[in-house]
Amino acid sequence: MRLILLGPPGVGKGTQAEKICSKFSIPHISTGEILREAVKNKTEVGLQAKVYMDRGELVPDSVVIQLVKSRILQPDSSSGFLLDGFPRTVAQAHALDCQLDTLEKPITVVIQLDAGEDEIVKRLTGRRMCPECGKGYHIAFLKPTKDGVCDQCNADLIQRFDDSEATVRRRLAVYLEKTHDLIDYYKRQNKLLTIDAGREIEIITEDIIKKLSVIS
């Protein structure tokens, strides 16, 4: 199963991605994660991407497309994958389709997580993550067992630098401006599965898995 998870920042893509990937045994490919790792390791891509990420803007298509192209050619992606945070522009979607057409492995379904702006701001400002393993938490919806500490590696949780209110608003504006066109792109391909993401995490997961199980 080759899946794309679409939705504004903070809608719960990372949380749902983890659950879907574990259910269908496919790798979770998050461009945000790959880029943050590159920034942390000060690679050439990381140095290029950091300027844009700090401003809450999109990293240039050419950089991100290249990253994803090589990632989906890795052996663990041969029987499927879930793309989280990619594509974000029609140019990225088109480049992805071209590569997958050549491989004769088209996208199966595009899951669109849909929620109102107030809900999104509430979720983003309460979001925390582990700087060691990248696991995500939320101060209200997805608490760690011990306040402020990662369940997996015991590290102190941090707030992502781009989850500050000003950057959050910028990221939402960027999403609405650029990523919105993707919804139409995939609607035209008849691949869009829209999910109401304003519900409890477990209910959303159940809904997605039930609908995907019918398709697979």
Q: How far is the CB of 34 from ligand AMP (least distance, A)?
A: 8
Q: CA-to-CA distance for 202 and 216, rounded, in angstroms?
A: 21
- Helix 165-174 and helix 117-125, axial crossing angle in degrees, nearest 10: 140
In the three-class reduction of DSSP (H, G, I as helix; E, B as strand; rest coil), residue 144 is classed as coil
H or E, element range at 18: helix 13-24
Write out the two tokens for 117: 């702006």
Instruction: Single out the residue of 4, 29, 64, 130 in contact with ligand AMP (rule: CB under 6 A).
Output: 64
Q: Please tell me the chain's helix, strand, coil percentages from 3-state DSSP, rounded to the nearest 5.
A: 50, 15, 35
Catalytic residue among 88, 123, 128, 135: 88
Q: Is 59 a binder of ligand AMP (CB under 6 A)?
A: yes
For 73, other C-beta atoms within 10 Å of its C-beta total: 11
Looking at residue 185, its amino acid is Y
Q: Is 137 a binder of ligand AMP (CB under 6 A)?
A: no
Q: Is 8 a binder of ligand AMP (CB under 6 A)?
A: no
Catalytic residue among 2, 36, 128, 160: 160
Restricted to residues 144-173, the positions that interact with ligand AMP (CB under 6 A) are 162, 171
Restricted to residues 88-107, the positions that interact with ligand AMP (CB under 6 A) are 88, 92
For 67, other C-beta atoms within 10 Å of its C-beta total: 18
Catalytic residue among 36, 123, 127, 135: 127
Which of residues 29 and 213 has its CB atom nearest to ligand AMP in the complex?
A: 29
Q: CA-to-CA distance for 204 and 211, rounded, in angstroms?
A: 11
Q: How far is the CB of 173 from ligand AMP (least distance, A)?
A: 11
Instruction: Single out the residue of 21, 26, 86, 185 in contact with ligand AMP (rule: CB under 6 A).
Output: 86
Quick check: 131 and 114 in contact, CB under 8 A? no
Q: How far is the CB of 85 from ligand AMP (least distance, A)?
A: 3
Q: Is 7 a binder of ligand AMP (CB under 6 A)?
A: no
Instruction: Single out the residue of 9, 12, 80, 144 in contact with ligand AMP (rule: CB under 6 A).
Output: 9
Q: Is 5 a binder of ligand AMP (CB under 6 A)?
A: no
Quick check: 28 and 21 in contact, CB under 8 A? yes
Catalytic residues: 13, 88, 127, 160, 171
Tell me which residues touch ligand AMP (CB under 6 A): 9, 31-32, 35, 52-53, 56-59, 64, 85-86, 88, 92, 162, 171
